[in-house]
Structures are given as C-alpha cells and as structure tokens.
Amino acid sequence: MNPILMSLIFAVTLGTFAVVAKKRFALLATGRAVDRFDRIPDRIKSVITYAFYQKKMGYYEPVGTAHKFIFIGFVVLLLRSIILWGRAFSPTFNAFIFGPDTLLGQGYELIKDVVATLVVLGVSVFVYYRTVKPQKRMTLSTEGLVILGIIATMMLSDMLYDGAGMELSWRFRSAGPEGIIGKLIAPFGTAHEGFTFGAPAGSLFRMLVRGTTDDTLACLAQAGFWTHATLVLVFLNILPFSKHFHILTAVPNVFFRDLEPMGRLRPLAENAEKLMELVGAVSELEDPTKAPVGVARIEHFSWKSILDFYTCTECGRCSDNCPAHTTGKVLSPKHLMLALRDHLYTRQDDLIGAPTAVPAEGIPADANPIAVGLGSILIAPDMLHPDVLWGCTTCRACEEQCPVMISYVDKIVDLRRNLVMVRGEFPHTLAKPFEAMEVNGNPWNLSRSDRGAWSDGLNIKMMAENPKAEVLFWVGCAASYDDRAKKIARSTAKLLQTAGIDFAILGQEESCTGDPARRAGNEFLFATLAESNAATLNGYKEQGGIRTIITACPHCFNTLKNEYPDFGAKFEVVHHADYLLGLVAQKKLTPVNAVKGKVAYHDSCYLGRYNDIYESPRKILGAIPGLELVEAEASKNKGLCCGAGGGQMWMEEQNTNRVNVKRTLQLLNTGATTIATACPFCMTMLTDGLKSQDKQDEIKQLDIAELLDQSCAVSLPAKAAE
C-alpha cells in the first residue's frame, strides 16, 4: 500500500502513546507497595471469568450484552488490525496463515464479519441508552458518543474495505500485483460474483458499492483501509485521557485483584503495640515523608488503588446499588472514585517528580517511601466532605456490582482509619461505643458480668467449666445484651442441645470481636480486642478444646473467620445458618410443626456479599412445613443493606430517608406476614423499620433459628434437666 505513510503513522501515534503511557505507569509506581503476584493460576482464572467472560455484566441485560459484543469485537479484530498494518508494507500479507484460500483464513473471515456486525449492534444499543433513553447512573457526555462513533467507524470502514476489494477482485481477476488495483485486490484471492456467506458483512457492502466505477471502488477501498488502520492507533491515544482507559487496564486490574477473603480488611501492623508505635510516630511528626496510618492524602494509596482509579468505567452500577446513595446521602461510590482519580491526575507531575525519603524509624518495612514536597492537601476535608466517608455501610454492594473488580470499602476504611487514629475526627455518636468496647467489651457499655445472663435456665456450660468442649457457641454482643436478640441465642442453644451437640460459651470471657470499631476506622481498638479474644480462644485450644466456633452474628462470623487468623486465631468458624442446616440434613433436627404464612428472608450483607452464604438460610426455611418463602425484588447479592454495618448502628443517618425503612418497605411489598433474618443487627434495623410503618404488631420479625425452633418442637425444660 504505502510503507512510508504507515511508518510515519506508526511513529507519530505509537510515539505519542509511549510518552503518555510512560507517565501513567510512573504515576502508578508512586503508589505504596502491595504484593499481587501470588497465586497466579487463581489470577488467570479471575481474568477468564470476570474480564473475558464478563460474568458481572449480566446475561440478559441489553447493555451488558452490548458490552460483551464490543469486547469480543476488540479481541477478534485486533488480529485484523495487525493484518491491515502488515498490508501497508506487503499487499499480500495475511499474518502468514490467514490467507483467503486457506480454511483458517476463511473461518476467520466469517468470524470477523459476524463479530464486527455485533459490535455495530452493540454500539447502537449504547447510543440508544445515551440519547433516546439515557441512564442516570451512566456518565453521559459528548466524549462517550465520540468514542462510540470511532468504534462504529472502525467496524464499518473495515467492511467497506472488504466490500470494495471483493468487487475489484471480481472485476480484475487476472490483474497482476503491479499498480494500485493489483495491490488492492491481491489479499482477496479468488473472488465470487454473488453474495459470499463466508464474508457476509463484506458481501453486503460489496452489493452497496457494486454500481460504482473502478476508480471509485479503488478510492473506497483505500478509504476503508486507511481509516481502519489509522483510527485504531488514534483510538489508542485517546484511551488514557478518557474513561475508556479501562480497555487497557481492566484485564490487569482483574488479574491483580485481592484474592484474600472478601470480608477481610488488611491490618495496618502485626499487632496493637506496633500499631500504637506507628500512630505515635506519625502523630508526633505530621510529616509526608512517613508512611501513613491509613490514608490521608492521595499519595498514600497503593499502586493497586491507583490502578482502580484508572479502571473505573463510570458505568454507575456501584452507585445504583449503594444504600447510602439511593437514600440521598452524599456518598456516591462512582463519584468518589472519579474524584480521587481526577485529584490524582492533577497531582501527576508533582508525584512523579517528587523525591522520596526513607521511612522513619518504627514504620513497617513493607511500607513504601512516600513522596515528599507535595503540600498538605488532605482528601478529607480538603477535597471530600467527611460525610462522604461516614455515609458508607460497608455492605459491598458497590464491589459486588463492579464489572472490573474495583474495591471501595478498603479505601473508605483506610480514610476513616486516618481520621480516627491520627486526627481524632469522627462522628460524635461513635465516642461512647468506642469507650464502651474498650472498657466493658461491648458497644452498649453494659456490665461484662451480665454477658451470659441470656442463658439462665438453659443449663449451658461455660468453657471454664468444660475446657475440652470442641464446639464453642460465640454469642456476640447483640445476643448477649439486647433483649430481642437474646431470643436468637436461646433458640440457637436449644436447637444445639436437641441435636446433642456438646458445646459451651465463654460468658464473661467473651468480648466484642471489634468489627464495629474496625469498620469505623478505630483499628487500634479492634486490634486490642482481637488480641485479647485470640488469646482466650487459643488458650482453650491448647487444652484440647474449641475446634469449631458457631455464631449467629454475621459480623462476628466474618471477623472470626476472615480477620482473626491475622492475629493468630485460626479455627473452623461456621455461621448458625450453615450449622443448623447440617443438623437438619443429618436428621439430628427434624422440623415437624407447621409454621404457616408467607416469609420473606432478608440477606445480611456480611453473610451474603461478604461470605457468599445465600442458600443455607433459605434451605432451612424451605424445610419447615407450612412455610411459604417469598423473595423481595432485591435479594441475594442484589439485596439492599439494612443500614447497620460500618458502624452505622451507632451513628445518626445524614438525612430522613433511612436505609432500614427503604429495605423494610421492599420486604413488605412481598406480602409476607413474617420477615426472617439471620443477623441480630438486621433484626434491630428491620424491627425499627416495621415500627416506622406501624407494622410491628402485624408483621413478625424472627431469626431463622427461632422459626426452626418453633418447627422442631424443642422441649427445653426436659432437655435442660437431662
């Protein structure tokens, strides 16, 4: 075609992209170190599942399907672009094995045409949802339409090149490679006169241009060729400056995602003492040369967080499913991510050009040096109102919906950690729960001596009395102190006794797991509680007891299972939904009494989205005679949070549109006469929701253990007497 022109285009476009890409990579490298090169097979599996198969895009949603079409198009047509670039230097270039007369070449031609057609269809869907039926969750801008136009033009120009080339090849079957016509038709081999099913898109365009002159055909073929060959390279240069940067970063972002349990937050230090040293060092010398406690400024984020910023597609799925955002709070996960990204870009030259300093003494060795000389622009409150951070319930609905596996909760908690531990800035309503957890081991500040009072009359042994008990029932603060939640503990205990399980409780030796403190940013308080509880648990383990821990609280369950191993407490931890279902399956528990009525089950975020337990509670309910299980419109991984997580249980909501009320209304819309839960926090929030609608006397609110207890006809006095 024209090797000189193609070489010039390569030099300009690839050279420009190299300069921009170098800056973006240098900016990425300023982030703190995190190890994401472990478990390579699992990471490859993630890429196949979430990047290539696009599992989170939905199977039947028009937008999701359209996105899959476009993604497949980029993958398949990358080879086509390479072939066209090669033809600029050698007209017969077909990547060596994809010639028009080979079976492989003919197969690829068919696939290419079908996929290109699907890409055009996908682009049309996106144009429709941007112009005719715009979606509020999406970033609607001229840029988006321009990008869609470029994508469609790349597909159509390739079809035009094929169509004009095929017609020319038919007209000049014996033409040699010399001259412009020969060079244009050389790659097409033996052409057919009519429609070719092996190249449907090209054949269609051939029919459209058939009536033109030879010179016009040659011009059209040239226009199609150079438009596609050039536009791909121009598009590459646009990507780093647009939301479509995710085309380049999505695959690596999925590959480098956190493979640790979804419910785990990474500790800031190996123990509370080290954490206190770190907090003290940073607090005494507020110096940007030191590794931070949590995150205060944009330069404190890790390189993986920066990759998250690059990768946001601005689709708005996160905000559409965020309980805070959908009830009018100032938090929008999408806009939080974009605000952090834009602020990062404004500091790009400062960050890349800044010298580095060695971390001060006492700073963990795995913390990267932080750039100096960047001023003191704090993320909160300088660029974000603190209410943005304190509105989060840590429910993970945003992360569940993100198609490119961006994490949000860890960033918000890291920002809270700095606010709480370094600056002492947090909602005033958290002060008493923090103090209560520190003094009495529970956020209600009730006496530790009353912790086991819920079990009066049940003849339940303490671990101190039965140190070799292999099963520990971890009761949790809510079921120990809240009068309503105590009934959950009693029903669970009665069921365990009926099934003949040899278990014990800790009583006064049990303290809050620290989950509310950790999610609210008080990492030091959490670490202190975790170390104390871990020592207690391990002490009984050394005596031959505690092999399995059962708990009816998803917050305790998640913390004990996913976070306490960081503090040396490694046990089999089972939520009561799974454990009770196992007892039913083993016929150690037999539901016989009918519990009539419609029951709507509410999914706890810390049980479902954090630990993927959705079916066990439903199977328990399904095993109860007479019970009709009905589903809310938003359920399972799309279920709305009750509003209690992330410390919200002890904070005032930012407006009058309450999360728990919205969720209660969703459940009431099912026509259920009973709302079932598997979390004492959810029970409290939904009970308040029922009261707000004056439905507390009409609609029952029961834990799955209470419903199973009713059906199993447990006779506790006789059991306890035995």
pLDDT band for position 358 (cuts 50, 70, 90)? very low
How far is C-alpha 94 from the chain's CA centre? 41
CATH superfamily of 597-721: AF0625-like (3.40.50.10700)
Give the C-alpha separation, 201 to 221, whole Å. 14
Written as six digits, the tokens of 164 are 């004009």
Give the separation between CA 627 and CA 668, rounded to whole angstroms: 17
Query: Is the pLDDT assigned to residue 573 strictly greater than 50?
Result: yes
Q: Crossing angle for the helix pair 200-209 and 142-171, nearest 10 degrees?
A: 80
Long-range Cβ contacts of 17-25 (<8 Å, 24+ apart): 17/233, 17/236, 17/237, 17/240, 20/237, 20/240, 20/241, 21/240, 23/348, 23/352, 24/240, 24/310
**Would you state the pLDDT for residue 60?**
61
Q: Over the stretch 179-226, which tens digit does the pLDDT of each residue have?
A: 677 667 667 765 666 677 888 998 899 889 988 998 899 899 999 999
Is residue 620's pLDDT more than 60? yes
Whether the predicted pLDDT of 717 surpasses 70: no
CATH number of 3-30+40-255: 1.20.950
Whether the pLDDT of residue 289 is over 70: the answer is no
Read off the pLDDT band of 106 (50, 70, 90). Answer: confident
Contact between 660 and 687 (Cβ < 8 Å):
no
Distances (CA, A) of 323 to 274, 394, 418, 608, 648: 35, 10, 24, 15, 12
Q: Residue 556, class by beta-carbon neighbours within 10 Å (0-12 exposed, 13-18 middle, 19+ buried)? A: buried
Rg (the chain; Cα; Å): 31
In CATH, what is the architecture of 272-426? Orthogonal Bundle (1.10)
- pLDDT 10s digits, 694-704: 999 999 999 99
pTM for the complete prediction?
A: 0.91
Q: Sorting pLDDT into bands at 50, 70 and 90, what band is 376?
A: low
Please report, as a single letter, which amino acid is at residue 463.
Answer: M
* Residue (of 317, 262, 321, 318) closest to 633 by Cα position: 321
Q: Which two tokens stand for residue 518?
A: 């950790």
Which amino acid is it at 468? K
Say what the pLDDT of residue 97 is. Answer: 82
3-state DSSP assignment of residue 363: coil
Q: What pLDDT score does 354 carry?
A: 61
Provide the residue type at 254 as one letter: V
d(CA 50, CA 44): 10
| Segment 314-326 mean pLDDT | 94
- What are the start-end ranges of the E strands in 470-578? 471-474, 503-504, 548-551, 572-575
**pLDDT more than 70, % of the chain:** 91
Cis peptide before 381, with omega less than 30 degrees from 0? Answer: yes
pLDDT at position 375, please?
52
Helix, coil or strand: residue 505: strand
Tell me the pLDDT tens digit for each residue of 677-715: 999 999 999 999 999 999 999 999 999 999 999 999 754
Indicate whether 366 pLDDT > 60.
no
pLDDT surpasses 60 at 493? yes
The pLDDT value given to residue 176: 59
Q: What residues form DSSP beta bridges with 131?
A: none
CA distance 409 to 413: 6
d(CA 581, CA 212): 74
Q: Assess whether the region 429-585 and the region 597-721 belong to the same CATH fold.
A: yes
For 457, other C-beta atoms within 10 Å of its C-beta total: 9
Q: Give the pLDDT confidence score for residue 561 in this predicted structure.
A: 98
pLDDT at 72: 92
Q: Which two tokens stand for residue 308?
A: 């998250």
* Pairing of the two strands 503-504 and 471-474: parallel
Sheet holding 503-504, edge to edge: 503-504, 471-474, 548-551, 572-575
Per-residue pLDDT of 595-619, as tens digits, reads: 999 999 999 999 999 999 999 999 9
Which pLDDT belongs to residue 409? 97
Q: Using the predicted structure, report yes or no on whether residue 491 has a pLDDT greater than 60.
A: yes
Q: Give the lowest-confidence range in 196-210, 221-235, 493-507, 536-550.
A: 196-210
For the residues 243-271, what does the mean pLDDT come to? 94
Average pLDDT, the chain: 90
Q: What is the pLDDT of residues 389-401, one digit of tens each?
A: 999 999 999 999 9
For residues 51 and 38, what is the distance between their CA atoms, to the nearest angstrom? 19
H helix or E strand, kind and range, residue 318: helix 317-320
Residue 450: predicted pLDDT? 95
pLDDT at 187: 74
Give the pLDDT score at 243: 87
Q: How confident is the model at residue 377 (pLDDT cuts 50, 70, 90)?
A: confident
Q: 3-state SS of 417-458?
A: HHHHHHCCCCCHHHHHHHHHHHHHCCCCCCCHHHCCHHHCCC
What's the angle, vertex CA 173, arms to CA 172 and CA 176, rounded to 5? 80
Length of the chain: 722
Residue 356: the pLDDT is: 47
Strand pairing report for 572-575 and 503-504: unpaired
pLDDT for residue 133: 86
pLDDT at 364: 44
Does residue 141 sit in helix, strand or coil?
Answer: coil
pLDDT of the residue at 193? 66
Residue 431 has pLDDT above 90, yes or no: yes
Contact 317, 63 (CB under 8 A): no
Q: Return the SS3 of 123.
A: helix
User: pLDDT confidence of 716, banded at 50, 70, 90?
Assistant: very low
Name the amino acid, one letter, at 266. Answer: R
Strands, E assignment, 565-626: 572-575, 597-601
List, in sequence order, every beta strand (DSSP E) within 85-164. Answer: none
Per domain, the residue ranges of the chain are 3-30+40-255, 272-426, 429-585, 597-721
Confidence of residue 359 (pLDDT cuts 50, 70, 90): very low
Mean pLDDT of 169-185: 69
What mean pLDDT do residues 516-531 have?
A: 97
Residue type present at position 49? T
- Residues 6 or more apart whose CB falls under 8 angstroms from that of 583 comprise 495, 499, 501, 589
Location of structure tokens 């244009």:
184
CATH of 429-585, one of 2.60.40, 3.40.720, 1.20.272, 3.40.50: 3.40.50
Q: Report which residue type is found at 22.
A: K
CA distances, 720 to each of 149, 483, 591, 714 (Å): 74, 21, 20, 11
CA distance 629 to 618: 8
Three-class DSSP category at 655: coil
